[in-house]
A = this chain, B = another copy of it.
Amino acid sequence: MLSTTAEYALRMMIALAEAEGRPLTSEQLSRRTDVSPDYAVKILQQLGRAKFVRAQRGRGGGFRLACDASTTTLLDLVRVIDPLDRITKCPLGRVEHEGHLCALHASIDRAIGVLHDELRSYTLNDLLKDERGTICAADSETIQIGIERRHNGSISGSN
């Protein structure tokens, strides 16, 4: 339903939100989110143009979150990649349906509407909370390279 690219973007945004302002290189993001290194860069560039991340070139650089994780919603992020637009004009270009969609397109539009509502109801912060302590992005590598974990006193962590 979402494009794979949108999925990738969400994973990387979660990884960046978890990093709490510290920059992560595209390489690190790639490994944490299982996105190929080169493609990860492309997606990060799109997120950068949309002002959701900021890039810092050069040594010690990387990508940092450039939005408020408590107000940025899933919908905001998905739409950077997938248009996911409501239907406002007749796809068949019928002039008599200007401002008054037929039953078919009105139904599809309502479906897109509830999808919007649902995706808008989750913020980036919401996605960081996981009762099990494992988030589907940003974990395995933090152990390898020894960055301190934020919630290591987890409840029933399986490793």
Which A residues have a C-beta under 8 Å from some C-beta of B?
A: 1-2, 7, 10-11, 14, 34, 74, 84, 90-92, 94-97, 100-105, 107-108, 110-112, 114-115, 117-119, 122, 126-130, 132, 134-137, 158
Contacts and interface: CB of A to CB of B under 8 A. Distances in A.
A118 B114 contact: yes
A115 B7 contact: no
A132 B100 contact: yes
A34 B115 contact: no
A92 B10 contact: no
A12 to B, nearest CB: 11
Dominant SS among interface residues on chain A: helix
A122 B114 CA distance: 14
A135 B105 CA distance: 10
B2 A104 contact: no
Contacts of A100: 132
B130 A2 contact: no
